[in-house]
Each structure stands twice: as C-alpha cells, then as structure tokens.
Structure 1
Amino acid sequence: MIDWAQVNTLRDDVGQEDFAEIVEIFIDEVEHVIEKLRTVPDLNTLGDDLHFLKGSALNLGFLAFSEQCQLGETNSAAGHADQVDIPAIISAYDASKTKFMSEMPSALTP
C-alpha cells in the first residue's frame, strides 16, 4: 500500500525538515481535491483531478491510491468519467493516509 523505499528516498533527497513540510503540503493539497470528490465531483475535470492526485500519490509512495487514480484517469480519458469509482479512490486515499501516518515513524530508516 505504501512504498516505504520511495518515502525514504524522498526524505533523504530533501532532508528531514523539508520532508515534514512536504508531507504537510501533500496532505493539504490532496485533501482539498479529495473533499471536492466527496462533495461535488466535476466529471469535466475529473481526469485532471485524478492525474494530479496520482502524481502526488506516487511522490509520497501511496501505491494503492495512485493505482486507483490511474484507473479513474484512464476511464476519464476514454470518455467514461461517469464510470469512475470515486468512492474506491477516496477509500484508497483514506486507508493509505491512515497507514502512512501510523507507520511512518517506524518505517523510516535512520
């Protein structure tokens, strides 16, 4: 669900202090789009929203979430935005975020 090697690489590349800031920014930006999907998803921009979410997810190692976003982005690009499983995408994000936040302190290598 979480690619901890990617998380460790990102943390090593940017440093511990900047890593914490990146995580905070990631959560804030992704939560904004997820809230949009929860309340009033716009099928006209869904592909773009999912592309953004997928890229953000990959940067922070949220594999399951990025896979769900990719599926939705592909459907949107094929003209089937109305068939995107938005609840599955939201669920994958919620589960990934919970796992990430609870396991991050012990999963990061010293």
Structure 2
Amino acid sequence: MIDWNRVNELRDEIGIEDFDEIVSLFLDEVETEITGIKQLETYMELGEKLHFLKGSALNLGFEGFAQLCQQGEDAADRGDHDKIDPELVVQSYFTSKTLFLGGLENRLPT
C-alpha cells in the first residue's frame, strides 16, 4: 500500500527537514481536497480531482491510494459513473495515511 522505496528516495533527495515539511504539506493539501470529493457535482470534476490526488499520492509513495484514484479517474473518463466510489477513495486515503505515519519511524533512518 505504501511504496517505501519511493519514500526513502524522496527523503534522500530533499533531506529530512524538507521531507518533514513536504509530508506536512502533502497531508494538509490532500485532506483539504479529499473532504469535498463526495460533494462534486459532475463526474468530470471528480475525474479531475482524482487526477490531482493520484499525482500527489505517487509523489509520496501512497501507491494503493494512487491506484484507486487512477481507477476512478479512468472510470470517470469512460463515463462509468457506477464504478466510482468516492467513499472508498476517502477510506483508502485515511488507511494509507495511518500506515504511512505508523511506518515512518520504523522504516526510515533518522
């Protein structure tokens, strides 16, 4: 669900101080965006929001969440509206966030 290789790579690239800031910004931004996902008026809007969330998720290693966003984005593009479950997307994010935060100290060197 979390791509720890990507997380380690990012942390090595930008350093621990900037990494902590990126994590904080990512979590704040995604939570701001995801709170309104169930209230979007069109599937085009939903597809655009899922595209944004997917990109953000991939940057920080939230692989499972990113895959679910991609599936939703693809479904929105095809007009398969019944195959998009915004609640599942929200749940996936919060599950990923819990795994990520819980694993940071165990998997990353300090």
The alignment partner of 2:41 has SS state of coil
Could you tell me how far 1:78 is from its partner in structure 2? 0.9
Q: Equivalent residue for 1:2?
A: 2
Give the C-alpha shift of residue 82 in structure 1: 5.0
Percent of residue pairs identical: 47
Report the counterpart of residue 51 of structure 1 in structure 2: 51
Hey, what does 2:18 align to over in structure 1? 18
Unaligned runs of 5+ in 2: none
Over 3 Å counting, the alpha-carbon distance change for 1:70 and 1:63 in structure 2 is: same
Opposite residue 66 of structure 2, the aligned amino acid is S
Distance in 1 between the 2:79 and 2:47 partners? 10
SS of equivalent to 1:45 = helix
TM-score normalised over the length of structure 1: 0.92
Q: Aligned partners of 2:69, 2:107: CA distance in 1, in Å? A: 24
- Cα offset, 1:102, TM superposition: 1.1
Contact conserved, 1:26 with 1:56, CA < 8 A, in 2?
Answer: yes
Q: What does residue 90 of structure 1 align with?
A: 90
Runs of 4+ in 1 over 4 A off after TM superposition: none
State TM-score, norm by structure 2.
Answer: 0.92
Number of residue pairs matched? 109
Post-superposition Cα deviations, 1:19-75, rounded to whole Å, max 9, x if no partner, equal: 00100110011001110114x123231111000000111111011100110000000
Conserved? CA contact 1:46–1:81, under 8 Å: no
Residue 75 to residue 108, structure 1, CA distance change in 2 (3 Å): same
SS in 2 for 1:2: coil
CA RMSD of aligned residues (A): 1.3
